[in-house]
A and B are shown apart, each in its own frame.
Chain A
């Protein structure tokens, strides 16, 4: 059973069909890349699956459960985490606090626990802090622990978003252009990190324009163009697919 499956997923914005009848699936422990020209509808697929907006039609099945139309916090609670194409960190919070927020849905205490700091909330809080520190170390950002997120260098912000997403303890991780704006050295390091995360038992779906990254780490590539899936297969297959080449190079008039 695939971890995630969409059936005829469609998203319409006014008159624009951003995603058109897309069937895709992601299997356990796979790294799937979702590629396509600008405006192909890749981010919209992520948004429709994670509940940023409900799909116009079609279904989204996560771990055997129909989740289309679920609000985003539900999707996260169920185990889908994501990063954003335009980095969306909590800018005023420190790196550590960003990762702590990521653990929100894995901790439970609320107002009473916060005010009285009973044993349970203390235990949860201590665990959350320890884990946040571990995660920062894992992505190599320990030295920025107390720094406001918006002051971090660009590449580090992307890594922090990944740490924050991992903090939600997902079983499926969505990365929206994780290598965007990175230099070759940084994107190389990012590839190592993504491989390492997968090796720890994570299923990953990634939108990426950097072909070196796509070809380097994905098991399977899905290509979207104008909201439709036009190709799917191994990186080698997709690279040679005339339809893909046409989509990227433009249709010959």
Chain B
């Protein structure tokens, strides 16, 4: 702050602004009155309301497996949590930076295949090591898998930087398919269509995350950490740069933002979370197969973001919870069991109806604040 003195004394330009009230405008003059739910979503309103609601949601999530103990539902909830992270990660790219990405599943695949290949193909089959002893690697993998996906993200981001709209969509779409096709055909590395089985489960020493109950909590922990990290990214200089690029790229560049670099960073950060979830998925199901990473998956992920509402933090989470649950719940109907193809149709109709009646998504495009007022008392500590 000190090095800059172009303005001279900073006096309020009161005289220069007749007719503008100096007092803060009446609450409600510019925005709807706050209710607690809106406060959670908008980040406005008293802070404790948000924390209370957030705590409530977490509490419900933590108690859920004690209340609903069926394996089927626990598996479903775990999958939901995976998609919560995938949708939130994709939302960095699509919602915050405004770049279309139809190949997001590729990064998920990279994470999953990385875990499978390092354990089964390299360590077990290649070096003949006993992978059941290497529990620590299951944790390291989460970060390495994320990192690999992030690198891949900037690599494919690079040639797409100059593209916009349709071209960008096609390019990312192609990348998503390329990864799957490679996985299907590079039999030496990925075992192709037979998939890689025997990926070890997460473990801490002898404590193996082998039950659905344990896996659920692991997924919950990963989801909470991921969302925390994403929310911090968004409420920072980085998130503001992304949003600026989304709102107006020319103006963003005029603010000194290296738009290419921040777009790549956005791809990388988004890809990172897909990579970590890919690793989780592999070490949770112990089996990785190319059909896990079909093009349709990319569309589903994008749907979750659009459905819940882009541009905020809560939208993709709500989208994932509702959509993935609905998708599974539909399977319970006898009619749909008899005609499985109808399920996709029902989902399609729901999506179309939603886009007609609520194009901004369930939560809507409510914006989150892109900065955080830091507490004053911290000043003295430094």
Contacts and interface: CB of A to CB of B under 8 A. Distances in A.
Contacts of A34: none
B237 A110 contact: yes
Contact of A73 (B7, B9, B13, B259): B259
B254 to A, nearest CB: 5
Given A105-B257, A127-B1, A140-B13, A115 B232 contact: yes
A133 to B, nearest CB: 10
B382 A119 contact: yes
B274 interface: no
Interface band, chain A: 35 or more
Contact of B258 (A73, A169, A201): A73
A170 interface: yes
Contact of A101 (B6, B244, B265, B369): B244
A251 B252 CA distance: 41
B371 A104 contact: no
B10 A90 contact: no
A114 B18 contact: no
A96 B382 contact: no
Contacts, number: 201
A247 interface: no
A110 B255 contact: no
B343 interface: no
Given A105-B256, A166-B7, A189-B18, A138 B367 contact: no
B379 interface: yes
Contacts of B380: none
Interface in B269-317: 269, 311
Interface in A86-111: 88-94, 96-97, 100-102, 104-107, 109-111
Given A92-B247, A142-B22, A202 B12 contact: no
Interface in A151-171: 151, 156, 164, 166, 168-171
A225 to B, nearest CB: 26
Contacts of B22: 142-143
Interface in A60-104: 71-73, 76-77, 81-82, 84, 88-94, 96-97, 100-102, 104
A113 B237 CA distance: 9
Nearest to B2: A127
Nearest to A83: B254
B214 interface: no
B72 interface: no
Interface stretch (A2-10, A191-199, A215-223, A236-244): A191-199
Nearest to B3: A169
B268 to A, nearest CB: 9
A122 B374 contact: yes
Interface band, chain B: 35 or more
A148 B243 CA distance: 13
A115 B225 CA distance: 11
Given A93-B243, A143-B24, A166-B7, A88 B251 contact: yes
A125 B236 contact: yes
A129 B13 contact: no
B378 A170 contact: no
Given A114-B237, A125-B236, A101 B7 contact: no
Contacts of B237: 100, 104, 107, 109-110, 114, 121, 124-125, 128
Interface string A140-152: 1111001110010
Top 10 nearest A-B pairs by Cβ distance? A105-B256, A140-B17, A200-B8, A114-B236, A76-B256, A90-B247, A88-B251, A200-B7, A72-B253, A189-B16
Interface of A: 50, 52, 71-73, 76-77, 81-82, 84, 88-94, 96-97, 100-102, 104-107, 109-111, 113-115, 117, 119, 121-131, 134-135, 137-143, 146-148, 151, 156, 164, 166, 168-171, 185, 189-190, 192-193, 196-197, 199-202
Interface of B: 1, 4-18, 20-25, 30, 44, 229, 232-233, 235-241, 243-244, 246-248, 250-259, 265, 269, 311, 365, 367, 369-374, 378-379, 382
8 contacts: A71-B258, A106-B4, A115-B229, A125-B371, A131-B1, A134-B10, A139-B17, A200-B5
